[in-house]
Amino acid sequence: MDFCVFMALCYNQSSSSCVWKSDILTNMTKGQCSIRYDPDLETSRQALARKQPQPIEVRGTKQASNVQELIMSNNPFNLAFRFLLEMAALVAIGYWGFDQHSGVWRFAFGIGGPVIAAAVWATFAVPADASRSGKAPVPVPGVVRLLIELSLFGLATWALFDAGSPTLGLLLASLVIVHYALSYDRVAWLLRQGRGTRQ
């Protein structure tokens, strides 16, 4: 009888782990038992196994990497930080123009300087730049775009020094370095770009 109980319990736990696959213990007497196989119950068991949740297929890492592409550069706080730096650079150039010149040249440099700088910044761009609108009126290689940005910030830093505000110049330069350090992924992306196309 102990052997019959063992076989019944064994099957209830896992039929695949038992040598004898049976479902119903029909008769149990002293030292003897008879076991019969029930095909209907086995069919139900197989149907239940098919309803078990299947493991979720994990797609390739390439797609995941595309989702995370330029994730730091597209961070809203970093984008706002960059916008403030751009405005600060234009203000610095305008301040230098008004402070270091007189007469008509004062307005030419104080107003014309920031306007020209903003026009160059908005015109020459890399297509599909995720940190910008993605539009490029005049497509340029990524290296050229990076040089334009660094030149504008460098000019603004120099303007502050020349206008007698070295502390503000150092502050602007330091913040620009921090921004590009945070935007390392965009810098690497720009360096990989050809003229008007994404590589």
Q: Are the C-beta atoms of 120 and 184 separated by less than 8 Å? A: no
From the list 41, 45, 42, 24, the residue with the least C-alpha distance to 33 is: 24
Q: How many CB atoms lie within 10 A of CB 32?
A: 10
Q: How many CB atoms lie within 10 A of CB 15?
A: 14
Mean pLDDT (whole number) for 132-153: 90
Residue 152 lies in a domain: yes
For 31, the domain range is 2-50
- The long-range contacts involving 31-35, CB below 8 angstroms and separated by at least 24 positions, are 31/1, 33/1, 33/3, 33/4, 33/7, 35/4, 35/7, 35/8
- Residue-wise pLDDT tens digits, 57-113: 444 444 334 334 556 667 888 899 999 999 999 999 999 999 988 889 999 999 999
- Select the more confidently predicted residue: 128 or 86: 86
Does residue 114 surpass a pLDDT of 90? yes
Q: Say what the pLDDT of residue 49 is.
A: 60
36 confidence band (pLDDT: 50, 70, 90): low
Distance CA 113, CA 2 (A): 98
Residue 181 lies in a domain: yes
Q: Indicate whether 139 and 118 sit together in one domain.
A: yes
133 confidence band (pLDDT: 50, 70, 90): confident
- Select the more confidently predicted residue: 61 or 50: 50
| HEC string for 4-24 | HHHHHHHHHHCHHHCCCCCCE
Mean pLDDT (whole number) for 44-61: 53
Residue 196 lies in a domain: no
Token reading at 177: 């370095």
Number of domains in the chain: 2
Does residue 23 surpass a pLDDT of 50? no
Mean of per-residue pLDDT scores for the chain: 75
Q: Indicate whether 88 and 114 sit together in one domain.
A: yes
Q: Indicate whether 69 and 147 sit together in one domain.
A: yes
Does residue 12 surpass a pLDDT of 90? no
Q: Indicate whether 10 and 43 sit together in one domain.
A: yes
44 confidence band (pLDDT: 50, 70, 90): low
Q: Indicate whether 13 and 109 sit together in one domain.
A: no
Mean pLDDT (whole number) for 23-30: 45
